[in-house]
Amino acid sequence: MKTLAPIQWMNLVKSVIIFFMISSIVWMAANYVMFREFFIGWPVLLGNALVTGVAGWWWYRREYHAVFSWDQQGFGLRRGGGDNSPKKWRDFSRVSLFHEGYGRFVVRLYQDDGARVDIPASDLKLAPSDFRFQVMELVAGRSVAEGLGSTRKES
């Protein structure tokens, strides 16, 4: 089984910024309650940056990081700390490419009972359209070329 788990920089930056804002507001509020003034010096700022870097990395790994494993029979997708329950390609009947906004695409797999699974192609640094065609071949039960490169034939 092949595994793909690139770092999604936008989600990591978002996590760090969220924790930086929260810790800065908490520091200023505690400082104001205790001393009735706002004190932010370089040691405080650097300490805050270190703490938020660690907390942001932890939050990113817990909530956003996507790990995708696949082969000819099936795949596993784990988002953050969620489970990686394996799924079979043959359990799905339809495939579509879905735009979530802000340039993010997912390849959406549909089961006959209406359930669906989203594979975050953009977060996994895959070419969404090419990846959709490869998933369509896997769902149809046809063999695909090794890797996740382009499925288009060259002349």
36-94 per-position pLDDT tens digit = 887 778 888 898 999 999 999 999 999 999 999 999 999 999 988 888 889 999 999 99
| Per-residue confidence band for 28, with pLDDT thresholds at 50, 70 and 90 | confident
| pLDDT confidence of residue 80 | 87
Q: How far apart are CA 13 and CA 5, in angstroms?
A: 17
Q: How far apart are CA 65 and CA 43, in angstroms?
A: 31
pTM of the full structure: 0.75
Closest listed residue to residue 51, CA positions, set 27, 85, 79, 80: 27
104-140 per-position pLDDT tens digit = 999 999 998 989 999 999 989 999 999 999 999 999 8
| pLDDT confidence of residue 136 | 94
The string over 8-37, giving b where at least 16 C-beta atoms fall within 10 Å of a residue's C-beta and e elsewhere, is beebbebbbeebbeebeeebeeeeeeeeee
Closest listed residue to residue 77, CA positions, set 152, 155, 4: 4
